[in-house]
Chain A
Amino acid sequence: MKIDKTAIAGMLAVSAAVLAGCDDRVCVDKQGRRVAEQYCGGHSGGGVVPGGFYYVSGWRGGGIGTVDGVARGGFGGEAAGHGGASGE
């Protein structure tokens, strides 16, 4: 059996990207697309019209945020209550 180590080493970059989404909140534009946090800090320009922060972890008290019809945070609360680990 061959294992492509070059491909697997890329896992770390993917993991980092996935883990980078670990913030309690994300900054989204008016269309609900994720944008850099600077745009939710009052900065505008570069073609981005800021929408606002969404709290993506509903259990943290931020609730399910909604902008332009996109609600987020409706999954994931049970994991928080069980210490995060959902594997078996």
Chain B
Amino acid sequence: MQRIAVPPRVDWQARVEALGLAWHTAAGAPYWNESAYYAFTLDEIDRIEAATAALYGLFLEAGDYVVSQRLYDRFGIPDWCWPLIEEAWKAEPPALNYGRFDLGFDGHGTPKLFEFNCDTPTSLVEAAVIQWDWKTEVFPAYDQFNSLHDKLVAKWRDIGPYLAPGAPVHFTHARESTGEEAVTTAYLMDTARSAGLATEGLLISDIGWDGRGYVDLQSREIRTLYHLYPWEWLVKEPFGRHLLETRDRTLWIEPIWKMIWSNKAILPILWDLHPRHENLLWATRDRPVSDSYVRKPILAREGANIRLVKDGRDLAVTDGSYADAPVVYQGLYDLPDFDGVRPVIGSWVVDGAPAGMGVREDGLITGNLSRFTPHIIYG
């Protein structure tokens, strides 16, 4: 695993904007970073892919355990949601079954799980489209661990026959200033259209309730809804109370049981079920078991309210709006250090199988200003 400097393409901003990446610069610094790339050997990619597949299996087992033991209170899930989660977990409704495992990997040992973002994962456009376009132009003779686009289209094609006939798939997200969520949602709409599905987009705040069902701006009932909007927010909001009565009318992609996997309360459960698994870091609910650990809220986004402690001393602390949330403790992983730059591997699954990866780099904590840096496979 190497990090290698390379001159950016002269017109890189125009090129990535043409592909939809309008948020390529953040706080005056490039978010999309093509002044360097990561080079992985095939063996290293194989190890990341194997870890991803193994972790997905562990999450399936942990999900079964949570549902069978009804451990929902550890996740802060309202009790009226429990039957919906159980129904969806057992029924396995049509879904993309996609998500991004955030992993620590330095090229030498085995990849270690930080968390699984599988309810509203982002950096998808960068991983699926932008870095592939960069590689095609800059390193045409090399490969990249990236079959995201094809697998997303294939999955839509698979589930298409099981969606409500004659109705479009609606795609929704919240209004947000950078445009990232609009473009991520638009990209997923495009993959659905490429699979032959009719689609419609609308803001989450535009969804209506006509007394019987959720409706779009033309007051058509929404039968299938992809949402780039987290379940833990949906269930707290006024229209969330209609989820129960519409369970047979509106199919949500991704399904409500994702509330379990994306919640970091799953980490101690994984560790309890598989202590010392080679792809897991220790994790507990109540207190750290060593003096080097990460303390993080069970529900937080983009690196908010994280405390890194090494040998009993704070290494890094971030603020945010989750200060009062329940937390978990996880073993501290020493990220590789490339002259002060520390990469985190984002390994994607689609339909539950490894589909590609992206690399985001920052200091000790990966937040929303971390840079996305492309990769190739060599050797």
Contact = CB atoms under 8 A, between A and B. Distances in A.
A72 B321 contact: no
Interface in A15-70: 15, 17-19, 21-22, 26, 31-34, 56-58, 64, 69-70
Interface residues of B, number: 66
Nearest to B122: A87
From A4, A76, A80, A85, residue with most partner B Cβ within 10 Å:
A76
Contacts of A32: 208, 210, 215, 219
B33 interface: no
B229 A79 contact: yes
A47 B225 CA distance: 31
Interface centre among A1, A5, A26 (most CB of B within 10 A): A1
Contact of B20 (A2, A8, A71): A8
Interface stretch (B47-55, B144-152, B159-167): B144-152
B174 A84 contact: yes
A75 B207 contact: yes
A75 B207 CA distance: 7
Given A11-B187, A69-B211, A86-B233, A64 B238 contact: yes
Contacts of A64: 238
A55 B149 CA distance: 37
Contacts, number: 177
Contact of B237 (A56, A76, A84): A76
A79 B204 CA distance: 10
B230 A88 contact: yes
B218 interface: yes
B338 interface: no
Main secondary structure of the interface of A (DSSP, over half): mixed
Interface residues of A, number: 46
Given A7-B194, A32-B219, A88-B120, 14 more contacts: A8-B20, A9-B20, A12-B18, A14-B186, A14-B190, A18-B173, A26-B217, A32-B215, A70-B208, A72-B209, A74-B207, A75-B205, A87-B302, A88-B230
B228 A86 contact: yes
Contact of B121 (A2, A69, A72, A87): A87
B107 to A, nearest CB: 25
A1 B129 CA distance: 11
Residue in A10, A81, A85 whose Cβ sees the most chain B Cβ within 10 Å: A85
B329 interface: no
A8 B187 contact: yes
Interface in B230-255: 230, 233-234, 236-240
A87 B194 contact: no
A82 B202 contact: no
A75 B202 contact: no
Contacts of B149: 1, 3
A1 B147 contact: yes
Contacts of A1: 132, 146-147, 149-150
A88 B231 CA distance: 12
Most-contacted residue by chain A among B147, B176, B210 (CB, 10 A):
B176
A19 to B, nearest CB: 5
A79 B174 contact: yes
A20 to B, nearest CB: 10
A56 B202 CA distance: 11
